[in-house]
Structures are given as structure tokens and as C-alpha cells.
Amino acid sequence: MAFAPYALPYLAPVALIALYLAWQRQTPRRAAATAYCFGLGLFGSGIWWVYISIHDFGGADPASAAALAALLVAAWAGFPALAAWLIAMVPWPGAWTRAAGAALLWVAVEYFRGNYVLNGFPWLQIGYSQTGTPLAGFAALGGAYAVGFLLAFSAFAAAEMAQKTVRWRSGLALLLAIWGAGAGLRAVAWTEPAGAPIAVTLVQGNIGQDEKWLAHQQLATLNLYRKLTEQYWDSDVIIWPETAIPAFLEDVKPFFIDPLQAEARARGVDIVVGLPSSGQGRDYYNSVLALGETQALYHKVHLLPFGEYLPLQPLSGWVLDQLAIPLGDFAAGGARQPLLRAGGHAFVATICYEDAFGELVARQAAEAGYIVNMTNDAWFGDSAQPHQHLQMAQMRALETGRYLVRATNTGVTAFIAPDGAVKRQAPLFATVAISDSIVPMRGATPYLYLGDGGAFAAIALLALAVAAGERRFGLAG
């Protein structure tokens, strides 16, 4: 309930306090079991929507889809259990050190899950629940993991206060300092305008996922996007969503792309579209094509396991073949691709879930004026998933100090300001285009320099400082 769309962020520390108290004075095995039950509740209620993708669009029967969804929930629930086991294994010298160390281990396990397991699954990391609270002010300093650490530390310190293992006065003072500093940081302008506002239009085609790739629907889809676009020729930039064009670039370039670019140039508009493109040999990419004075491509770097590539082959391929689930196998683009340009400014292009990875966005954001996310959340129907995805995009805006615009086939097409606020959004499951102005920004937040590695180094130093302070000043109860 702390995550979107329910937006009850203060339930997050309450849940963490309860969990922390539950595993106190338990053996590592029992602490892990307690946290595993917590994980089952978290992921069972938070990512149940994978069933929709597997069943409705993956072609699996209900039993197989439910089994796979349950398997995923059971697997991800193991990570809170791992964190609890590690925390219970350490002979912490004091209550403050235990609270800080436990918070550090919690977000370290989240980082491992979010970046290395099956190419990373950062969903439901605790920091994302705080995009609307004072703790969001720390996103510009250390990203989502710094926010998550301070949330966990606040909760665990409060739990220690409840057990009277730390002094209430010192505990309350520290919590007020953390949350007060976060509120102050939210008012800091880390970046500044790099030029005049530009008018941007986001096109949401709302093409049904079961119709999107049908050959006889291709022309109707192209005509729909063209018609929606023609109403907004007065924009500076028009953006279509991920794979809005359901055909390879090479197949539609002569009769559709080139004429579209020519008309856009004549009207002084840059158009950014999503489509698949071919590479060398049998490689093909999930791509963004910017149509300005020239045509420039970005190929998706961070691929979605099972959706865009098959991990653990050949085992995974055999399992999916048995379940009759057809999935793609895209190639990944280069890690360092030139930034695309539209509206007179460079922008960071992200496709699908790439905006869920802070460091991926941050490593080029300092050179860009704004961020674009092109996605298709139709895979998950009318569930919490599109709203959770939007919340992660809000964190990217906070981390980088830049506007982030999202064009979705359906999902939450939206304009997000540098402070993480949603300026304007389109309704779900509507065929619509929305326009607003954004201001390209320049400058860099500390997070753009630190990245996740630097942020974790700072978090570890902070935890060590808490431990040193406890030893020196005797802050225990």
C-alpha cells in the first residue's frame, strides 16, 4: 500500500518497524523465515500482474500462468529473507550500530536484486515508496538507494526506540534531523534552465496488445499515429511510444518514415518514434528513431529477461517451449551510444523498463537537457504496474534534476517535473495525445557524479559514523 497507486508512503516505515521488531532475538533461520513471509506479502500483492502478461498475452493456460507467477513471487521473496538472515548473523555491538547496519544490508540486498539477478529487477525497492515525502530530497544526493537506506534506518531506529535500547531524546533528534534535511533538500535547485521552454506532444495509441503485431493491422496503426500527430504540428517535439511502429525500420522507411520526416522538417517539428530495427547478421533491436534534420537511432541497452531475451539458456527456452509461451530474443545496444537530439537539445532515451535503473539514466544525463521514456505497459492490463512504473520514473527526475516525459502505448503517459511532480498525464486505455511545455536543464546533481557506487560508499561511511558515534558518546538507552 505504500507504493503507487495507493500512495500511502508512511505505511512503509510502519511495515519496516513491525518487521524489525518481529525478527529481534530470533535465530538467523527464524529471522529469514519471518522476512520471507513479509516478502511473500510484498511481492504477492505488488507484482501479481505478471500473471496478466503470462496468461493474456504470453499464451499460457491459467494454471501454468499462475504457477509461473507464484514461482516469481516465491523467488523474489527470498531477498528480504536473505537480508534478514545476514542482519541476524552479525553480532552488532550496539543498538544504533544494529539499526544502521541493518539498513545498509537491506538496501545492499535490494541493489543486488535490482541489478544482477536475471539482469536486474528493481521493482518494489523501498526507496520508491517515498517519492512524495521529505526523504525524496535525498534522491539528488544518492539516488533511490540513499532514500531507501534513510527510510530503513529511520524505521529501525524507531524500533530500537520502542524497545528502549536507545535514548528517546537522541533518537527523536536524529530522526527529525534526517527528515528535516530531506525537506530542505527538496527545495534545492541543483540544475538550471538551458534555454527556452519547448512544446512537447506525447502520443498514446492504445493499441491492444493482442492486435499490435497482426500484419493486417499494421497500416491502421500507422495511420492512427499519423492522424494523432497531424493535430500537433505546432509542437517542437512529438514523441510516440515504444514500438509504436510495429514493423522493422528497413521495411517502413521508404513509404512511411522518410515521408513523415520530410513533412515534419517542413513544419519545423522533430519526431521521436519507437520501432524494431535490424542489425548485423540475425541481430535485431528495440530502438528509438529521432527524425530531425537527420535520422538517428538508439538501441535499447538493458533488456528485459524473458520478454526480450532468454536468460539461463537452454534451460529457460526448454521450459517456455513446454508451456507454449512465445518470447523474443533481442540484441542489446552498446553501453555508450551518442545522445539523440530533438527540440534543439540532447536527451537521454530510455525504452520500457530502462527508466527503472538509476545509474543507466544518470551516466549520460549531465550531457542531456531532458529524459524521454518510451514504453508499453499494455502487457499488464488495468493493474498497479503502470502506476508503479510511473513512480520509478518520478525518482529518475528527482535524481537527475531534469524533466522526464513518458510516451506509452498505454500506461501512464505523463510529463514529470525535476522535483518529481507529475505535471500532466493521460488517462489509461485512451487513444489520445497530450501536450505541455518542458524546460531543458543543465548542470548536475551530486548523484550524477556519484552513481550507485559512490552513493553506497557514502551510505557505508554514514553507517560507520553512526557506529563510531555510538561507541564514543554512548547513545544507547
Q: Residue 221 pLDDT more than 90?
A: yes
Q: Average of pLDDT values for 309-334?
A: 53
pLDDT, residue 314, reads: 46
Give the integer Cα–Cα distance in Å for 392 and 144.
9
Confidence at 325, pLDDT banded by 50, 70, 90: very low
Q: Which residue ranges make up each domain of the chain?
A: 11-189+449-473, 193-444
Report pLDDT digits (tens) over 291-308: 998 999 999 998 876 555
* pLDDT tens profile 30-53: 999 999 999 999 999 999 999 998
213 — pLDDT class (breaks 50, 70, 90):
confident
Q: 207 vs 248, 376, 378, CA distance in Å? A: 17, 10, 8
Domain 193-444: CATH superfamily is Carbon-nitrogen hydrolase (3.60.110.10)
pLDDT at 475: 55
Residue 320 confidence (pLDDT)? 40
What pLDDT score does 279 carry? Answer: 80
Buried residues in 382-410 as b, exposed as e (16+ CB within 10 A)? ebbbbbbbbbbbbbbbbbbbbbbbbbbbb
pLDDT of 243 reads 94
Kindly indicate the confidence band of residue 326, based on its pLDDT and cuts at 50, 70 and 90: very low
Give the residue numbers marked as catalytic. 242, 300, 352
* Res. 396: pLDDT tops 60: yes
Distant-in-sequence, close-in-space partners of 49: CB < 8 Å, separation ≥ 6: 380, 381, 383, 384, 385
Please compute the mean of the pLDDT values over residues 65-80 and round it to a whole number: 95
